[in-house]
Amino acid sequence: MKAVVFYGPGDMRIEEREIPQPSEQEVLIKMKACAICGTDVRIYSFGQANVKPPQIIGHEIAGVVSQVGSKIKGCREGDKITLVTAVGCGKCRYCLEGRVNLCHHIKPIGYYYSGGFAEYMIVPAEAIRQGSILKIPEGLSFNEASLAEPLSCCINGQEYLNIGLGDRVVIVGTGPIGCMHAELAKVSGATKIILADISAERLKLAKVVEADVYINSEKEDLVKRVLEETQGDGADVVITACPSPQVQAQSLSMTAIRGRICFFGGLPHGKSRIDFDSNIIHYREISVHGAFASHHSQYQKALDLFVSGRIKASKFITHQFPLKDLVKGIETIKEGKALKAVVVMN
Ligand SMILES: [Zn+2]
Ligand SMILES: [Zn+2]
């Protein structure tokens, strides 16, 4: 089989490998689509502590079950499936609550375990035990199903925010994650969606979600403009979907009384301290939430949203690449030319 292997920052090689053989507790998947995540771009550019080269990355997976270990039940050859990325220890309090994404001993697929940028991959036994294999509903293509992972992460973030009818929502960062947040907020009843970014190119791509207001925060004062758009109140919800400490600090100044903030995007290591007036949180009763990855029920909601048509997965996909052109896909995202790029296997 062909696989693209990460050897270190800037070093991705296409290799010919043996098709892996599943043990009695494992499943072999023939990959159909694996979308490129912002994290993949980051791993390719800088490496990441939990990815030990040589490794096959890729975690936004859609494929077909091609071989099933003798002890596996509930999964058959030919099943169309997607996979929950986070694999927890299965024993800690977070795993027992179903929040495998918060397990201290998380071993994610596409980081710790080999991922989807290959023609075949093994689903590890631990993941199968935790129910990480989810069937793709009838009517969803592999490309569309591969976006269940990013949408599930946005669902995880928004579960803390309780967006409801009439809410005014600001999302800073209009990559695919920012755009998915916009669609989710609409589904939840938000009546004004304000998208901001420093890149004119990204803002242009984000037109697909038909937000109410687009702000180029490189050219305009973001806080001032948000206050103008909200009659001076500030937004009920602010989501930072970008790796910027300044934006996190600014978010407090554009949030309404009793507003909710989600620091969705992590900050680069060494740049994760922010300076803010804590009294804003105190007097204005603002809540600030974190969000990291996602778990099974959020994947299921993502698939349901796609298949119901409430959120159209295909609108996010601007580019497709064959496996051999994975690096080209990563570069296209880096240059800000793609909203979502999917590696498609034949
Ligand atoms: Zn992802
Ligand atoms: Zn655990």
State residue 346's pLDDT score: 81
188 CA distance to ligand 1 middle (Å): 22
Tell which residue, 250, 259, 261, has the closest CA to residue 217. 250
- Which DSSP symbol is given to 110? T
pLDDT recorded at residue 223: 98
Alpha-carbon dihedral angle through residues 267, 272, 277, 283, given to the nearest 10 degrees: 60
Q: Is the pLDDT of residue 327 over 90?
A: yes
Place of tokens 């030919």: 78
Q: What is the mean pLDDT of residues 159-179?
A: 98
pLDDT tens track for 178-198: 999 999 999 999 999 999 999
Confidence class for position 297, pLDDT limits 50, 70, 90: very high
> What's CA 321's distance to the chain center, in Å?
19
- What DSSP line would sit under 236-254, residue for residue? EEEEE-SS-HHHHHHHGGG
Q: Which residues surround ligand 1, an ion (CB under 5 A)?
A: 37, 149
Mean pLDDT of the 125-137 span: 97
241 CA from centroid of ligand 1 (Å): 13
Q: Under a CB-based contact definition with an 8 Å cutoff, are residues 75 and 27 in contact?
A: yes
Q: Global pTM? A: 0.97
The pLDDT tens digits for 82-97 are 999 999 999 999 999 9
**CATH fold of 2-151+294-344, please?**
Quinone Oxidoreductase; Chain A, domain 1 (3.90.180)
298 vs 100, 189, 193, 211, CA distance in Å?
A: 11, 19, 22, 24
Distance 146 CA to ligand 1 centre (A): 9
Q: How remote is the CA of residue 97 from the centroid of ligand 2, in Å? A: 9
pLDDT of residue 180: 98
| Of 132, 118, 128, nearest in space to 324 by CA | 118
| Interval 106-113 mean pLDDT | 98
How far, in Å, CA of 198 to CA of 219, rounded?
8
Tokens of 14: 């296409």
CA dist., res. 261 & res. 201, Å (int): 26
CATH class of 161-290: alpha beta
Give the mean model confidence (pLDDT) for residues 231-249.
98
pLDDT, position 242: 97
For 244-258, what is the mean pLDDT? 98
**Ranges of each domain in the chain:** 2-151+294-344, 161-290
Structure tokens at 59: 């975690």
Q: Name the closest ligand to CA 148.
A: 1
- In whole numbers, what is the pLDDT of the chain averaged over residues? 97
Q: Other CB atoms closer than 10 Å to residue 183's CB: what's the count?
A: 23
Give the Å distance between the CA of 110 and the centre of ligand 1. 10
Sign of CA dihedral 78, 79, 83, 87: negative
Kindly state the percentage of the chain with pLDDT values over 90: 99
Helix (H, G, I), strand (E, B) or coil at 135: strand
Instruction: Report CA(249)–ligand 2 centroid distance (Å).
Output: 32
